[in-house]
Structure 1
Amino acid sequence: MGGFRGTRRDDSGRGGDDRRPPRDEEYVPRPGTARAVDEPDTPTDFDSALLPAGVRAELRGLPKELANIVGAHIQAAGELIDVDPELAFKHAEAARRRAGRIPIVREAAAETAYAAGHYDVALREYRAIRRMNGGDEFIPVMADCERALGRPRDALELLASLDPQTKNIGLRIECLLVEAGVRDDLGQRGEAMRLLEEAISHKVGPKLGQARLRYAYAEFLLEEGQQAEARRWFEAAEKLDGESELDVTDRIAAIDGIILPEDFDLDSDEEDAPGVAEEDSATPEEVPSADEDEPAASQDKRSETAPEDHGAQELDK
C-alpha cells in the first residue's frame, strides 16, 4: 500500500483550503476527520502518488481532507502489516471509521485484523467486502477465520460454497489447503493427506500454489514422524518456490539439525534454481509440478474414511 500527499500548508500550518475559518477562530475539524481517542496519529509523511491507482480511484469520492487522512492511514497499515500487525490494524480501523463504505478500506481492515489475530473482526470485514463486491475470492481466508475461531464445521460449509465451475485454479488450491487443515483439526489427517495427494497429482495451477501443496504435505509427513519423506517433499516444494516465499530452507535445515544464521541469504542460490524465472500467473497447462524425480505420494494405509461433510471442490484434471 502507498499513501496520500499531505494537504498544502500555508504559513499558519493549516491545510491549504480556502474554506478554513479565520485565524482568530478555533479550528473545528470537518465531520469524519476528527481523531478518535484510541487511534494512532494520522501520518503526515505520505504521498498520494504512492497509492495504487485503484485505491486512489476509490478515495476520490471523499472530500479532499478526509481522503488524505484515510489514505495516510491506509498507507501506514500497508507499511506496518508485516512488522507490527497490531499497529497496522489500528491504522486500518482509523480509516474504516471514516470511510467504511469504501471496499478498499474494508479490505485493509480485514487484512490487518487477520494479520493481528483478530479473526472475528477479520471475518466480519471479509463478509462486508463480499456483500459489496460479490465473488468467491475471500472464501479461503474467511474459512480460515472460522477455523481459527474453533468452528471447523462452519469452515467446511463455507468452503463448499465455492462455485464448482470456477476456472480459478489458484483459488481452488487455497480452499483445498484450508480444508486440509480443517480435516486435520477434526482428527481426519488421512483424509487431509489424501486431498493433498490428489491435488498434487493433477500438476496444475500457479507455481507457488503447487509449492504450498507440497509444503503442506511435507508438514503432515513430519508430524507423522517420517522425516526422510518430509525432507524430500520440502525439497520438491523448494523447486517450485522461485521467490523463496516459503521457509523451506529453514525446515530442511531443522530436519538436518542445522541452525542457519538470521542473515542467511538465498539470492545466490535462486539464480541456479531451474525453472523458477517464470511468473506465478502462468496457466495450468504451462506450469509443471516439479522435476521428474519428485517423490511419490506416501502409500501408507489411512485409517480415516472420508467424512460426510462437504468440503472444498477437488481439482479437475
Structure 2
Amino acid sequence: MAARLIDEDPERAHQHALAASRRAGRVAVVRESVAITAYAMGDFALALRELRTYRRISGNDDQIALIVDSERGMGRPDRALEEARSVDRSALPTPTRVALAIAMSGARLDRGELELALGELEIPELNPDLAFEWSPALFDARAAVLEDLGRTDEAAFWRERAEVASAALGHGDDDEMIIEDAYEDLPDDPQTDDDAETDDDAAPEDPTEDSAVDGSVAEEQRAEADPVDPAAPASDDAEDAERAE
C-alpha cells in the first residue's frame, strides 16, 4: 500500500509504512519503506535515520543516493559529498551509481560549484543515443547544470534527448532501447572544450526494535495461504479411521 500510494498521497503511504514498522521493525524492507515515504514527505531527518538503519540491517548501499539527497535536504552538502565518497561506486549496481552521480551533482550545485557539478555527470552511462531506465533523469540533470552555466544550446540538446528517451522507454519492455533513429531531426551535441571533470538507529515513534519477527509470522502466512474450512468434509483418512474404530 505504501508503494501504491506514495506518488498520489505520500502522507498516507507513510502511515502504512509506519504501521508495518510497528509489526516488523527489524525487517530491512520495512525500514526502507519508512525512509522512502519520509523522504517523499520532506522529513529528511527521519529519512536519514531510517536509511541508516536499513543499511545496517541489510548491509546494502543501494539507497546511498537517497542518503546523499537527504543530507542535501538537511542543508548539509558537505556531509552529502562525504557520504557519497564513503562507498565503492564501482561495486554499485548501474542504476544506483547513476542516481548517486546525480545526487552528487546536486550537492556540488548547493555549494555553487557549477563546473564540478557538470563533471559529476561525466560518467560512461551518459550516452545520448541509448535509453536506459536511468537515462531521462541523467539527461535532465545535465541539462539543468548547463542552463545554470548559461550554455543554453547544449542544455536544449540534452533536454530534447531526455524527452525522446522517456518516450522511447514508454513504448517497450526492453532494458535497453536504441533510440538513435528518433534523434534524426534533433541537432548534434554541441562540442565544447570546457566540460570539467553519525548514525542514529532508533526506530520512529511507537518503538519497533522490540517487534521481532518470529516463527509465528510464518505460521500465520501458511494459515492464510492454506486456510482450513470448518465446514469442509473430513478427509478420506479420517473417515477410514472412524470406520476402523
How much has 1:198 moved relative to structure 2? 4.7
Taking the aligned partners of 2:28 and 2:12, their CA distance within structure 1 comes to 21
Identical residues among aligned pairs (%): 36
1:59-70 matches, within 5 Å, as: none
Opposite residue 95 of structure 2, the aligned amino acid is G
1:185-264 matches, within 5 Å, as: 185-199=110-124, 207-242=132-167
Structure 1 pair 116–201 and aligned structure 2 pair: CA distance change class (3 A): closer
Taking the aligned partners of 1:165 and 1:200, their CA distance within structure 2 comes to 13
Matched, 1:128 2:53: yes
TM-score (norm 2): 0.67
Q: What are the ranges of 5 or more consecutive residues in structure 2 without an aligned counterpart?
A: 198-245
Higher relative contact order (CA 8 A, sep 6+): 2
* 1:277 aligned residue (169, 172, 195): 172
TM-score (norm 1): 0.53
* 2:69 aligned residue (144, 152, 158): 144
1:1-317 matches, within 5 Å, as: 75=1, 77-166=2-91, 168-199=93-124, 207-242=132-167, 277-280=172-175, 282=176, 291=183, 294-296=188-190, 298-300=192-194
Structure 1 pair 212–107 and aligned structure 2 pair: CA distance change class (3 A): same
- CA contact 1:170–1:206 (8 Å) conserved in 2: no
- Look up the SS of the partner of 1:241 in the other structure: helix
How much has 1:209 moved relative to structure 2? 1.8
Taking the aligned partners of 2:114 and 2:41, their CA distance within structure 1 comes to 28
How much has 1:182 moved relative to structure 2? 0.4
- Between the two proteins, the alignment pairs up a number of residues equal to 194
Taking the aligned partners of 2:135 and 2:125, their CA distance within structure 1 comes to 7
How much has 1:228 moved relative to structure 2? 3.6
How much has 1:204 moved relative to structure 2? 9.9
How much has 1:113 moved relative to structure 2? 0.5
Q: What are the ranges of 5 or more consecutive residues in structure 1 without an aligned counterpart?
A: 1-74, 245-269, 271-275, 307-317
Q: Deviations over 1:47-93 (max 9, x none)?
A: xxxxxxxxxxxxxxxxxxxxxxxxxxxx2x33321122122212322
How much has 1:158 moved relative to structure 2? 1.2
Taking the aligned partners of 2:30 and 2:168, their CA distance within structure 1 comes to 28
Structure 1 pair 91–143 and aligned structure 2 pair: CA distance change class (3 A): same
Aligned-residue CA RMSD (Å): 3.0
Which deviates more from structure 2 when the two are superposed, residues 192-201 or residues 91-100?
A: 192-201
- Look up the SS of the partner of 1:208 in the other structure: coil
